[in-house]
Amino acid sequence: MAGMPETHASSDGGRPDLSRLFVVLDFDGTITQTDCNEVVLRRHTGTAWYVFEQAARRREISHAECLQRQIRLLHIPRRQVLREFAAAAVLRPGFAGFLRWLVPGGGRAAVISVGFREGIEEVWRREALPPVDLFASELRGGPGERFEVVLHPAYGACSTCGPGACKAGVLEARRLPDDVVVVFGDGISDLCLARPADVVFARAHLAQLCQEEGISWHSLDTFSDAHAVLAALASAGRFAGRPSERRRR
């Protein structure tokens, strides 16, 4: 982990300098209070979708293959899938305020999700959230043909997630040498992000996996709590850097 540069913790009239802070976020069940994909699947497939969820948890199939099999159980129009996905998205408390602290302070944020890009973009518009980099999936197909989930091409490959399905590929490509990486997640697909992170906020299955692997983590209940933890680090200058040097890279 890089040492803290010799600089002031605050800039821009007292606003904390967050120029070295890179926040990576899962969407379903992390930014949102529930998993939006699961809401749609439960509504239209009963319990059939959960068979594949259990197989993924046993690591018999990858998370990407799990979602692919689950989404092919649906027999409703594509537009309806996306509409119900977005409607199910209730933000975890404090998320909007967290982003409005992060972005003006010079921090960077990336949402890396197997959730559907169009649905996530609709949530961002509806909630009037600050812009972030989005690496999400595309839903293709519809009634009369099988749905297909196409993951973002920036995803990498690993033995756990499979080829072209590892979120860590995005992190590796986007991380700057002096970044302090903070990861928020809730599932097995976020584990490869948590392993190299400097700070992890985890809930649900990811919290269990972090515990098993000995990864230090903070419990994620609300973003207000996480904001307080990171604000304390910011006050100590943990994320301060030299913006002029970073812009020249």
Domains and CATH numbers, the chain: 13-32+91-142+150-247 (3.40.50.1000)
Task: Answer yes or no: are the C-beta atoms of 194 and 218 closer than 8 Å.
Answer: no
Amino acid 7: pLDDT: 35
CB-based contacts of 187, cutoff 8 Å, min separation 6 = 26, 29, 63, 204, 205, 206
Q: What is the pTM of this model?
A: 0.90
- Describe the crossing of helices 78-87 and 117-127 by its angle, rounded to 10 degrees: 40
Q: What is the pLDDT of residues 54-87, one digit of tens each?
A: 998 888 998 889 999 999 999 999 999 999 999 9
Provide φ and ψ at 22, rounded to 5°: -120, 110
Q: What is the pLDDT of residues 195-241, one digit of tens each?
A: 999 999 999 999 999 999 999 999 999 999 999 999 999 999 999 98
3-state DSSP call for residue 15?
Answer: strand
Encoded tokens for 149: 């989930």
d(C-alpha 210, C-alpha 194), whole Å: 8
